Amino acid sequence: MSTCGRFVVVIPAHNEQDTLDDCLASVTSAAHALREASVDIVLVLDDCDDGSAEIARRHSEIEVLTITAARVGAARAAGATYALVGCSPDDLTRTWLATTDADSVVPVGWLVHHQRIAHAGADALIGAVVPRLDELDPVRAGRWRASHPPGATLGHVHGANLGVRASAYRAAGGFPSIGEDEDVDLVRALRAADASITETEDAPVVTSARLKGRAPHGYADYLAALA
């Protein structure tokens, strides 16, 4: 398996002006920490009518794509398609596609961790996501802690912390253009194709603890149901 010399980060955003600045700053810092690889960061503004575009303009290293699908699957797919256009089969094998969400903050070593997994031969990485517990009420925060001993996040797929080799992504058909569970569907297709998948709780992504999210039946609904 070839090592990855190029990393692409795709971030879908639908009216995320309150969290977008922190997200982009964190992804940029993670890109700067990566060595011996290039990084392209693609922000997909999907049907935004808030200040997200203005915030994006403050980040000169971010490539911005604007669509009006209002579906997170379509946004992730559009970002990947944009970044991978013109790639040869060899290019795809050496390119790693990572995704996070606009209401999330990645650790500075996030892409370094993805790089380590990619270089070990994995086709995909399923990473951990944790909420900002200080944003939750005491009841929900306590129940989250009680239900999340070490290993508890394994087996759960989150688009906020997902990585896949571009060749495996293409072979699996990419993100479906749907409004929810596009990440779960992609991983299901990867498993069906016998892709090598690593699940890890290292370098978790911290995400918003809001109780009403952008996608139906998403992480916000899970947090809301804790009480």
Domain with residue 187: its CATH number is 3.90.550.10
**Residue in the structure block whose two tokens are 């559009």:** 78
pLDDT digits (tens, 9 = 90+) for 161-208: 999 999 999 999 999 999 999 999 999 999 999 999 999 999 999 998
Q: What is the b/e burial string over 52-79, where b = at least 16 CB atoms within 10 angstroms of the residue's CB?
A: bbebbeebeebbbbebebebbbbbbbbb
Looking at the domain assignment, is residue 29 inside a domain? yes
- Does 183 fall in a domain? yes
Q: Is residue 122 part of a domain?
A: yes
Q: Is residue 147 part of a domain?
A: yes
Instruction: Examine residue 10 and state whether it is found in any structural domain, yes or no.
Output: yes
Segment 89-134, tens digit of pLDDT: 999 999 999 999 999 999 999 999 999 999 999 999 999 998 887 8
Whether 1 is covered by a domain: the verdict is no
Q: Is 161 within a domain? A: yes
- Does 129 reside within a domain? yes
Give the strand pairing for 95-99 and 162-165: antiparallel
Q: What DSSP letter does each residue of 199-213 carry, written as one string?
A: E--SSPEEE---SS-
Q: Which structural domain, as residue segments, surrounds residue 191? A: 6-224
Give every CB contact of residue 28 below 8 A, 6+ residues apart in sequence: 41, 59, 61, 62
pTM: 0.92
Tally the domains of the chain.
1
